[in-house]
Amino acid sequence: MSNSSSRQSLLRQFLIPLLSAVLVIGGSVAFASRWFADRATDRLSVERMESIGKLVVNAPFPLTPQVLNQLKQLSQLDFAILSLTPPATAVVSAATMDIPSHFLKEVEATAPNSRSSTSLKIEANADSPYIGLLIPSANKYLLILEKRQSSQFLNVSFLLPLITGLLSAIGVGIVATWQASRITSRIGVLKEQIEAIASGETIAEHKLGPNDDIQSLQTAMRLMSIELAESKKRIAENERTRLIQLLASGLAHELRNHLTGARLALQTCESDSTDHEAIAIATQQMDLAEQQVRRLLTVQTGTANEHEPPMLCVDLLNNVVDLVRPMANHRQVAVDVFPPLDSQSAELTKLKRLEIRSGNAVTGALLNLVINAMEAAGPNGQIRIYVTVAPADSDSQLNERTPANSDGNDLQKIVWKIFDNGNGPPSEIAAQLFEPFVTSKPEGVGLGLAMCKRVAISLGGSISWDRSNGWTSFEFSIPALEPNHLTTPTIRDNC
C-alpha cells in the first residue's frame, strides 16, 4: 500500500465524514447557544421590568402621560396604563407609544386570568418583537414594553460558538488524521510483510511506532517468517537427502561392478609389469574407491560403518600424500606438507602416537579436499597441507559424538588445513558450499564436500572454509586419542 493511496483512502473514509459531522455538530451547538442566550436575555429583561414596575405601581404620584414619558427617558422602556371595560375590552388611558390593536388583544386575553405580573411576548413585526410585562394595580393594569434587540442570523451569540466548534473540530481532525495516517502506514507495513511471507521471503526487523499491539504483531510476523524459512529449508534438505539416497544407491551398485572388473584387470597385469609401485598405488586407489562406494550404500540407511578400523594420524597423512603425489606431478601442482614427513618435529611425533576412528573414511574425505584444491590451483599452482594437534575444547564445533576419555586425559583434535592459490569458489555458491548438489564444475555432481561434511560431523568434528590474501583454505578437524585410550563408540550420522 503506497502512502498516497493510503492518504486518499483515509480522506474518503475518515476526513469527509468527520468534517460533515463537525458542521452538523457545530451548527447545532451554535443554534443551541443562541437559543439559550435569547432565553437568558428575556429572563433578565423580565426581571428588570418587574423591579421597575413595582416601583411605578407603588409610586405616590399620579401616572400621567408626562410622568410616563419621563420614566421612559430614564429606563428606555415604554409604559401604558390600561383598564378593562365590559366585556373585557382594553382601553388605554395613558401611554408613551401608540399601542397596536394586536397588543391590546394580547392584553385582553391575558388580563382576566392575571392576578400577578405576567410576561408577554408580542410580535410587532418579523424584525422587531416586543417583550412585555402586565402588572395588575387596583382596577387598572400597567403594561411595560421593551423592544428586543434586532438580531441577524449570524450574530455574536451564534458565530462565536460556531467558530469555536469549527476550530476545535478542525484541530481534533488534524490530530486524528495524523494519528490515523501513522496507523495506516504501520498497517501498510504489515500488508507488505504478509505479501513478503506469502512470496517466501524472510522479512527483516522493522520497528515503526510505539511498542504497542501493532509492534508486537510485526515482531510475531517476523519470527513467523524466519520459522517458515527454516521449515522451507528443512523440507528442501529432506528432499535433497532423499534424492541423494536414491542417486547413491543406484550409482554405488553400478560403480561396484566396474571397480570389480578394474581390480581383476590390475591383478592380471601385476605379474607382467615391472612398475610394481604404480600397480600398488592403483590398487590402493581402487580400494579407497570401493570404500567410497560402500559409504554411498550406507547413505540409503543414514548410518556409517561402525566397524572401520582406527588409523594412526601419521599413517593417514602418508596415505593421502602418497595417493595425491602422482596426480600432482601429472598436473604440475606443487604440494608442500607441514610438518614434513621426513622431519623430527614435535608435531610429527604427536601424529605418530595419536589415532582417529574410521581412518578410511577420513582418508577419503581428505583426498576429496586435496583433489579439489589441485583442480582449483590448476597447472603450476601451489597446495599446502598443514596438520596440527590442538586441545579438543578449543573447538566449539565438537559435540556429543566426540568420544569420551575414561582415563581423564585431555581429549585432543587433529586439524588439517588445505590451502590452494586458485581463484576460490564463485561468490554465488559460497554460502552453500557444503550443501548437496552445489558445484561450480560443469561435470560435477556437488556431492564431494557434502560427503566430507558428513564424515566430519559423524566423527564429532567440523569442517569450514575461508578465503584470504589470494589463498583458499579448508579446515577439517576431528577428535583423536592415543591408541590405549581410544574408544569405539557408535558413529551416528544425522546429516
pLDDT, tens digit, for every residue of 410-438? Answer: 578 999 999 999 999 998 888 888 887 78
Are residues 315 and 350 in contact, defined by beta-carbon separation less than 8 angstroms?
no
Q: Which residue in this structure is represented by grid cell 421597575?
A: 52
Does residue 333 lie in a domain region? yes
Last residue of a domain, one of 127, 147, 167: 147
Q: Is 349 exposed, middle or buried (0-12, 13-18, 19+ CB in 10 A)?
A: middle
Does residue 86 lie in a domain region? yes
Last residue of a domain, one of 117, 147, 177: 147
How far apart (Å, rounded) are the C-alpha atoms in residues 213 and 208? Answer: 12
Predicted confidence (pLDDT) per residue in 93-136, tens digit: 888 888 888 788 888 787 777 667 776 766 555 455 778 888 88
Confidence of residue 334 (pLDDT cuts 50, 70, 90): very high
The region that residue 464 occupies, defined by phi over 0 for left and psi between -120 and 50 for alpha, beta otherwise, is beta
Total domains, the chain? 2
Does residue 159 lie in a domain region? no
Residue 288 is predicted with a pLDDT of 67
Does residue 389 lie in a domain region? yes
Lowest average pLDDT, out of 236-240, 305-309, 348-352, goes to: 305-309
Q: What is the CA radius of gyration of the chain?
A: 54
CB atoms within 10 A of CB 439: 18
Q: Is 102 exposed, middle or buried (0-12, 13-18, 19+ CB in 10 A)?
A: exposed
Predicted confidence (pLDDT) per residue in 67-102, tens digit: 888 888 888 888 888 888 777 788 888 888 888 887
Residue 422 is predicted with a pLDDT of 94
Last residue of a domain, one of 128, 147, 166: 147
Within 8 A by CB and 6+ apart from 194, the residues are 221
Q: What is the share, in percent, of the chain residues with pLDDT greater than 70?
A: 69
pLDDT at 299 over 50: no
How far apart (Å, rounded) are the C-alpha atoms in residues 49 and 41? Answer: 12
Predicted confidence (pLDDT) per residue in 261-295, tens digit: 676 667 667 666 666 677 776 777 677 666 666 65
How far apart (Å, rounded) are the C-alpha atoms in residues 456 and 402? Answer: 11
Does residue 428 lie in a domain region? yes
Top pLDDT among 18 and 51 is at 51
**Nine-digit cell at 457?**
560431523
How far apart (Å, rounded) are the C-alpha atoms in residues 162 and 165? Answer: 5
Residue 260 is predicted with a pLDDT of 67
State which residues form the domain around 53: 3-147
How far apart (Å, rounded) are the C-alpha atoms in residues 167 and 174? Answer: 10
Confidence of residue 380 (pLDDT cuts 50, 70, 90): very high
Does residue 16 lie in a domain region? yes
Does residue 495 lie in a domain region? no
CATH value at residue 318? 3.30.565.10
Does residue 238 lie in a domain region? no
